[in-house]
């Protein structure tokens, strides 16, 4: 299949704009394609939804396009844990099978099953 064909398969009509379908899911463990961190996805934006200042701070040679899904991660590296906002093009599946050690994982997820975190069901009063 050609690249154009794959991209066409990953789009859906949304009003008058075409929006790509997210490749990754909430609860999936991923790692950054270039930088040494990994994390679990806890939210997805269908396209870039951060400040222009944030986007422009990314070196131009690796700056992602804005018209793709962006993922919120409970991220970790060897030194610390933090929240990351990463474009789809810069993520790959983490196949280590290791749990993510971010301290907020237990607040959002009920546990790890078959390599994916199970999202905690919110309770309303």
pLDDT tens track for 37-59: 999 999 999 999 999 999 999 98
Contacts of 91 (CB under 8 A, 6+ apart): 23, 24, 30, 31, 32, 33, 71
Going from the C-alpha of 60 to that of each of 16, 42, 56, 65, the distances in angstroms are 29, 27, 8, 10
Report the predicted TM-score, pTM, of the whole model to 2 decimal places: 0.82
Phi then psi dihedrals of residue 80, to 5 deg: -155, 175
**Overall average pLDDT of the 27-38 stretch:** 97
Across residues 67-74, what is the average pLDDT? 97
- The more confidently predicted of residues 122 and 96 is 96
Write down the pLDDT at residue 3.
38
| Whole-number Å distance between alpha carbons of 116 and 33 | 19
């Amino acid at each position: 299949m050609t690249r154009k064909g794959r991209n066409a398969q990953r789009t859906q009509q949304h009003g008058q704009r075409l929006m790509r379908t997210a490749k990754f899911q909430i609860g999936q463990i991923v790692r950054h394609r270039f930088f040494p961190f990994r994390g679990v996805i806890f939210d997805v934006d269908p396209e870039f939804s951060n400040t222009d200042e944030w986007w422009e701070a990314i070196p131009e040679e690796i700056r992602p396009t804005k018209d793709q899904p962006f993922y919120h991660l409970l991220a970790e590296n060897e030194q610390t844990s933090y929240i990351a906002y990463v474009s789809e093009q810069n993520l790959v599946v983490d196949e280590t099978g290791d749990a993510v050690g971010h301290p907020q994982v237990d607040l959002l997820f009920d546990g790890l099953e078959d390599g994916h975190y199970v999202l905690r069901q919110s309770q309303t009063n």
